[in-house]
Amino acid sequence: MTTPLTLSFGSDHGGLALRRELMAALKAKGYTILDRGTETSASCDYPDYAQAVAADVNAGRARFGILVCTTGIGISIAANKVEGIRAALVNNVDAAELSRRHNDANVLCFGAKYVDAPLALACTEAFLKAQFEGGRHENRVAKIEPKK
């Protein structure tokens, strides 16, 4: 028996509906879901949710994170400020797959204004199936990590 892959989700008010739809679809496919909110449509701050999901990924509570805000821009910037996180804002399946294969992304970001639930699910499935290729990409990824 294999352990189901755990995914951590977060969104602000602008990504609430898409986050809920995507979580439900992935839970139905057998994924374990950590829901870091928000739970209402009241205005809230996307960095709080980006940081909560990033903490799950960095601590190993989740293998990957998925974040949603209205455009995806703010929440992806916030996530990328957390050491160890490589968040990719995508709006098509090819970019989602390549973000894993070439960039070893560990957080997937969506803009609810630009991506509907079926497309977000297709992107997420491509992201989760893809494997980091290493090789020439490994050196490039190493260059974006903070210097110690």
Residue 107 sits at φ, ψ, to 5 deg, of: -135, 130
Question: Closest Cα partner for 23 from 124, 96, 127?
Answer: 124
Active site residue 137: no
Question: Do 110 and 15 meet the contact criterion of CB atoms below 8 Å apart?
Answer: yes
Question: Do 127 and 64 meet the contact criterion of CB atoms below 8 Å apart?
Answer: yes
SS3 41: coil
Amino acid (1-letter code) at residue 25: A
Contacts of 53 (CB under 8 A, 6+ apart): 8, 9, 10, 36, 62, 65, 66, 67, 79, 107
Active site residue 69: yes
Catalytic choice (13, 44, 69, 109): 69
Residue 6 sits at φ, ψ, to 5 deg, of: -100, 135
Which residues are marked as active site?
A: 69, 102
